[in-house]
Amino acid sequence: MIELLTYVFGALIVVSGLALVFTNNLIHAAFLLAFCLLNVAGFYVIHHANFLAIVQILIYAGGILILLAFGIMLTNRSENGKVLTKNHLLFFGLLCAVGMAMMLYALITNPKTGTIEAIQSVEQVTQIGMRLLTQYILAFELIAFLLLVVLVGAAFTGKKSYDA
Amino acid sequence: MMRDPVTFGLFIGGFLFCIGLLIVIIKKNAIFVFIGIELMLNGANVNLVIFSENDPNLQGQLMGVFVIVLAAAESVVGLAILLNVFKYFQSSNLNDFNQLKH
């Protein structure tokens, strides 16, 4: 059952990713990204990362997508309601992506990389919380400060200035 | 080989990264490029989660939390800059951003 779900989520991720490449409609792309990220969250649950799955849904599906939707609505104007975009640099893009895919394939299928038994940690959220406030306290404080700087910077950059 | 869930997950992560790279390069709209960057960050995160499954210290997941926060910060600043650039050029096509003079 779990194995079946893994393949279902994987297939949905692949389908929505490919649809993202082939779509030209920006609104469709935003919703496809939401779908893709929710499936990634499902994938996290299967791989026993429940806390990260919830963070993924809250921040990505809740925060970044709303930002993207506002970005699309504020920056693109069209008469018929469809926001269409085009492609360029197709050859070099495909070259880079296929080359990267081949490199990753060679790396993953390398016989030196094996698998070991999964360890199911019981108190995952407790563990993550404890480690965030002890071992990773410096990174935690830095990221909190970064968020503050980003908030102030975005508010300052986005505000209406007199000359622009 | 694809029946092994760890290898399958690594393939999914690699797929997300490659698709993100492709979108970043070939799309003309700046917001599409943001979408591609989010996909690449998610591909990296999938890898972190899969390797952290076998780790009692959960280091991969902790790294994943930081990656998600950084993605949010990047997206906020990027969209704020894009709004200002759009005000000046009246376009979000990357090929139209061809001068730095204000």
> What is the predicted pLDDT for the residue at A113?
59
> What is the predicted pLDDT for the residue at B86?
87
Closest B-chain CA to A57: B68
When comparing pLDDT for A65 and A161, which is higher? A65
> What is the predicted pLDDT for the residue at A128?
86
Model confidence pLDDT, tens digit, residues B52-101: 887 778 888 899 999 999 999 999 999 888 888 888 888 888 888 888 87
pLDDT range class, residue B36, cuts 50, 70, 90: very high
Q: How buried is A134 (Cβ within 10 angstroms: 0-12 exposed, 13-18 middle, 19+ buried)?
A: exposed
- Do A88 and A148 share a domain, yes or no? no
Mean predicted confidence (pLDDT) in B25-48? 93
Mean pLDDT across chain A: 85
> What is the predicted pLDDT for the residue at A3?
84
- Do A91 and A23 share a domain, yes or no? yes
Rounded to whole angstroms, the Cα distance separating A39 from A42 reads 5
The residue of A14, A52, A130 whose CB has the most chain B CBs within 10 angstroms, and thus the best one to mutate to test that interface, is: A52
Residues spanned by the domain of A130: 121-158
Within-domain flag for A93 = yes
Tell me if A129 sits within 8 A of B61, measured CB to CB: no
Within-domain flag for A37 = yes
- Do A76 and A152 share a domain, yes or no? no
- Do A150 and A84 share a domain, yes or no? no
Domains and CATH numbers, chain B: 5-96 (1.10.287.3510)
Within-domain flag for A36 = yes
With an 8 Å Cβ cutoff, are B19 and A21 in contact? yes
- Three-state secondary structure readout of B18-30: HHHHHHHHHECEH
Does the structure show a pLDDT above 70 at A117? Answer: no
CA distance A121 to chain B (A): 7
Within-domain flag for A163 = no
Tell me if A29 sits within 8 A of A66, measured CB to CB: no
End-to-end CA distance of chain B: 56
- Do A128 and A61 share a domain, yes or no? no
Output Rg (C-alpha) for chain A, integer angstroms: 20
Does the structure show a pLDDT above 80 at A79? Answer: no
Within-domain flag for A164 = no
> What is the predicted pLDDT for the residue at B67?
93
Nearest CB partner across the interface for B22, out of A51, A97, A124:
A97
Mean predicted confidence (pLDDT) in A64-81? 80
Q: What is the CATH number of the domain that holds A8?
A: 1.20.120.1200
Tokens coding A156 = 């300052």
Does the structure show a pLDDT above 70 at A39? Answer: yes
Mean predicted confidence (pLDDT) in B3-26? 91
- Do A38 and A99 share a domain, yes or no? yes
- Do A85 and A60 share a domain, yes or no? yes
Tokens coding A2 = 């779990």
Alpha helix locations (H) across chain A?
Answer: 2-22, 26-46, 50-56, 65-75, 90-108, 124-133, 137-158
Rounded to whole angstroms, the Cα distance separating A129 from B54 reads 19
When comparing pLDDT for B70 and A84, which is higher? B70
CA distance B22 to chain A (A): 5
With an 8 Å Cβ cutoff, are B50 and A21 in contact? no
A–B interface: beta-carbon pairs under 8 A: 220
> What is the predicted pLDDT for the residue at A20?
93
Tokens coding B54 = 């076998």
When comparing pLDDT for B58 and B33, which is higher? B33
Tell me if B54 sits within 8 A of A118, measured CB to CB: yes
- Do A136 and A81 share a domain, yes or no? no
Rounded to whole angstroms, the Cα distance separating A83 from A88 reads 17
Nearest CB partner across the interface for A52, out of B26, B34, B49:
B49
